Amino acid sequence: MKSCLPIVLLGLLLNGHWFDHGRQALAADALAWKAGVARANITPNQPLWMAGYGSRTAPATSAYHDLWIRVVALEAANGHQAVILSSDTLGMSAPVYEEVVAKLRASRGLTRDQIMLNASHTHCGPVLKNALYDTYPLDDAQIPLIEEYSAWLVDTIVTTIGQALDDLKPATVSRGVGHCDFAVNRRTNREPDVPLLREKNLLMGPVDHTVPVLKIERDGELAAVVFAYACHNTVLSFQQWCGDYAGFAQYALEERHPGALAMFVMGCGADQNPLPRRTVELAQGYGHQLADAVESVLKEPLRPVSAKLQTEIEMVSLAYDTLPTLERLTEMAQGPANYQQRWAARNLKLRSQPGAPPQSCSYPVQAWRLGDDLIWITLGGEVVVDYALKFKAVYGEETWVTAYANDVMAYIPSKRVWLEGGYEGQSSMYVYGQPAERWNADIEDRVTAGVETVVNQVTKFAPK
């Protein structure tokens, strides 16, 4: 036994040496990143309709706090670049997304897969071009104002992304995961019952309370923190521009870390609400809870992310269910003036024009791999939490699954929610102006196939 001891000690020393060497190599690899940051104020300077609640009857005229876009540009060791944008908007519309993609290709040579446009889904932000037009009684004067603001927003996004790319400097990237529990499944818990149900630990329904965090440092200082949470950004419904709880979380983190960008991206929170709600104090409280969750991650040792980056995107065709008959549209169009009546009247007009009505919608499914093992999946639309739980079960619990990215065209129900119906499963299609009253029953299969395609492209990963 004694003769073996030196060999054992030598093995331990060598293992320790190689462990330290490997850790140093990983840290050095993480240093090979470059990162740039930029932001711009996007608060409307004239009255515009606010997006999100159909009960509103007039445009907004003032701000509780400013709305922002924030951008982080990343460049991997091999020179491959990508840009992450967060915005205090309900969601990017298809025209805004397509114009941004076209202008960035022309001005910066970026392709669609390298661009990630995230919306916080605040319901205290402006209506954008070709989005939610049926929801509100917009007059002929308002639509040109919305389109003018949207064109300005496109140019501001492109300019700000360019500023972030011009700001690229050596950086380190690391990651961790926190926890925050104010999100409640709104399909299975009545809002008035939530305080008592929470007190008795009787809240029901699937949730995702994780808070993924990406930390970006330059010169040893925090340059940006990107964080996600799956919960509707709907505490407030007043007539003032405001980023809601996500806006308060970003403001709180930037106050604690002067000079750094705090960037919120929305998880799969289409069926999740911050409850109770409706007061500024609650929005501030939830925002500070989320900021505290991010702060707790920043204070812990984080996993370095090596300077490798792969980006892919797939525009998936999502089929509509059977389109409503002309008789049904006519009956609805003759009903009381509301969003359903406006939806039916507009669709009747479209159906009277030459050409067949659309049978499907183009849907962005994106995947990035950062480093050796961090997979970030982004989905368009308002995606229910089932998708996040499903994809994390397949690709690993630390996989990022976020939604409200690139184009927010409607709610995206899982098969379970589609069968159950309700707002997320069906009736929300009127609000978003889609030509059908619900998606085809195979929507989850189509989204899943798109995710498998892009994840395989960035990782060659074989699902379980």
| pLDDT one-digit tens code per residue, 133-172 | 999 999 889 999 999 999 999 999 999 999 999 999 999 9
Question: Residue 356 has what pLDDT?
Answer: 83
| Residue 4 is assigned to a structural domain of this protein | no
Q: Residue range 86-113: average pLDDT?
A: 98
| Residue 84 is assigned to a structural domain of this protein | yes
| Residue 313 is assigned to a structural domain of this protein | yes
Q: Model-level pTM?
A: 0.91
| Residue 202 is assigned to a structural domain of this protein | yes
pLDDT at 334 over 90: yes
| pLDDT one-digit tens code per residue, 264-291 | 999 999 999 999 999 999 999 999 999 9
Question: Residue 17 has what pLDDT?
Answer: 47
| pLDDT one-digit tens code per residue, 424-449 | 998 889 999 999 999 999 999 999 99
Q: Which segment of 306-320, 339-353, 441-455 scores lowest on mean pLDDT?
A: 339-353
How high is the mean pLDDT of the chain?
92
Q: Residue range 29-48: average pLDDT?
A: 91
Instruction: pLDDT band for 12, please (50, 70, 90 cuts).
Output: very low
Question: Residue 28 has what pLDDT?
Answer: 54
Q: Residue range 410-434: average pLDDT?
A: 93
| Residue 264 is assigned to a structural domain of this protein | yes
Q: Residue range 61-72: average pLDDT?
A: 96
Instruction: pLDDT band for 27, please (50, 70, 90 cuts).
Output: low
| Residue 426 is assigned to a structural domain of this protein | yes
Instruction: pLDDT band for 365, please (50, 70, 90 cuts).
Output: very high
Question: Residue 427 has what pLDDT?
Answer: 85
Q: Which residue has the higher pLDDT, 8 or 103?
A: 103
pLDDT above 70 as % of the chain: 92
| Residue 144 is assigned to a structural domain of this protein | yes
Q: Residue range 243-264: average pLDDT?
A: 98
Q: Residue range 86-91: average pLDDT?
A: 98
pLDDT at 236 over 70: yes
| Number of separate domains in the chain | 1
Question: Residue 18 has what pLDDT?
Answer: 38
Residue 109 lies in domain: 32-323+359-459
**Three-state secondary structure of the chain:** CHHHHHHHHHHHHHHHHHHHHHHHHHHHHHCCEEEEEEEEECCCCCCECEECCCCCCCCECEECCCCEEEEEEEECCCCCEEEEEEECCCCCCHHHHHHHHHHHHHHHCCCHHHEEEEECCCCCEECCCCCCCCCCCCCCCHHHHHHHHHHHHHHHHHHHHHHHHHCCEEEEEEEEEEECCCEEECCCCCHHHHHHHHHCCCCCCCCCCEEEEEEEEECCEEEEEEEEECCCCCCCCCCEECCHHHHHHHHHHHHHCCCCEEEEEEECCCCEEECCCCCHHHHHHHHHHHHHHHHHHHCCCCEECCCCEEEEEEEEEEEECCCCCHHHHHHHHCCCCCHHHHHHHHHHHHHCCCCCCCCEEEEEEEEEEECCCEEEEEECCEECHHHHHHHHHHHCCCCEEECCECCCCCEECCHHHHHHCHHHHHHHHHHCCCCCCCECCCHHHHHHHHHHHHHHHHHCCCCC
pLDDT at 82 over 80: yes
| Residue 343 is assigned to a structural domain of this protein | no
Q: Which residue has the higher pLDDT, 62 or 11?
A: 62
Q: Which residue has the higher pLDDT, 23 or 79?
A: 79
pLDDT at 6 over 50: no
